[in-house]
Amino acid sequence: MINEISDRVEVDGRPVSLPTAKVYILLNKPPGYIVTMSDPQKRKTATELLPPLPFRLFPVGRLDQESEGALLFTNDGQLANRLLHPRYGFKKIYEVKVKGSVTDQQLNKLKQGVFIDGRKTAPDKISLIYRNRQFSYVRLEIHEGRKHEVRKMLYALSLDVKKLKRVAMAGLTIKGLRPGFWRYLKKEEVLRLKKQAGLPA
């Protein structure tokens, strides 16, 4: 059996190029890493945490430097594009720690949508995990993919974000995956994503 990633195949002494294998990796990104292929400022990048492969993987979506959690990498551009498109309904779930006690009024405003960058956010599922006078934990489920959307939503209500973690994206969770560690997606996970995205298995 030929390993499409590591084996070199030749015919009459000439290398034969095989179709590039499609790879899907879920990373639990720690804070302090930027999501980019390379950085002129020599900051730590999330790609440094991935295994060495003979081809490039690209991140699906964004996760800013101080945020942490689920981040998918792949070289399957067609699936990546559909995972990011609101039309296909792939949701992202965040757990956010904010300073102070979040009010019920603020939670209701988040559920109804707030204006950021001149446009109202789509209504999403918002729930309170815990709150006291010092801090609160809020869970947000969103389907849009706007840049820094979660932070901007909370800032719009004068909430000071102390920690932001994406605990799941497109049904893939970081449960059991320590910060800085990664895993390949299971075959059934890839098939589920493709089915939801309307792509052939």
Residue 2 has pLDDT above 60, yes or no: no
- Comparing 9 with 144, the larger pLDDT belongs to 144
Give catalytic residues, as residue numbers.
64
What is the count of structural domains for the chain?
2
Span between the terminal Cα atoms of the chain, in Å:
22
* CA atoms of 190 and 71, how far apart (whole Å): 15
Same domain, residue pair 62 and 73? yes
Query: pTM, whole model, 2 decimals?
Result: 0.86
Residue 148 forms part of a structural domain = yes
Same domain, residue pair 98 and 165? yes
Q: What is the pLDDT of residues 154-197, one digit of tens each?
A: 999 999 999 999 999 999 999 999 999 999 999 999 999 999 99
What is the pLDDT at residue 10? Answer: 63
Looking at residues 136-146, what average pLDDT do you find? 89
Q: Are 67 and 95 in contact (CB under 8 A)?
A: no
Q: What is the pLDDT of residues 66-100, one digit of tens each?
A: 999 999 999 999 999 999 988 888 999 999 999 99
Same domain, residue pair 80 and 126? no
Residue 3 forms part of a structural domain = no
Same domain, residue pair 165 and 180? no
Residue 121 forms part of a structural domain = yes
What is the pLDDT at residue 117? Answer: 86
* CA atoms of 154 and 62, how far apart (whole Å): 18
Q: Which residue type occupies 96? A: V
Residue 13 forms part of a structural domain = no
Residue-range definition of the domain harbouring residue 25: 19-86+171-196
Q: CB-based contacts of 87: which residues, under 8 Å, 6+ apart?
A: none
Residue 27 forms part of a structural domain = yes
Helix 187-196 × helix 77-84 angle, to 10°: 60
Looking at residues 142-146, what average pLDDT do you find? 80
Same domain, residue pair 179 and 82? yes
Q: CB-based contacts of 175: which residues, under 8 Å, 6+ apart?
A: 167
Same domain, residue pair 145 and 182? no
* CA atoms of 58 and 22, how far apart (whole Å): 12
What CATH number does residue 141 fall under? Answer: 3.30.70.1560
What CATH number does residue 80 fall under? Answer: 3.30.70.580
> Would you place residue 143 in the very low, low, confident or very high pLDDT band (cuts 50, 70, 90)?
confident
Same domain, residue pair 95 and 157? yes
Same domain, residue pair 163 and 188? no
Same domain, residue pair 33 and 69? yes
Among 78, 81, 66, 62, which residue's Cα sits nearest to residue 145? 62
Burial letters for 81-102: b for 16+ Cβ neighbours within 10 Å, e otherwise?
ebbeeeebebebbbbbbbeeeb
Q: What is the pLDDT of residues 3-58, one digit of tens each?
A: 554 556 666 667 655 567 899 999 999 999 999 877 788 889 999 999 998 889 99
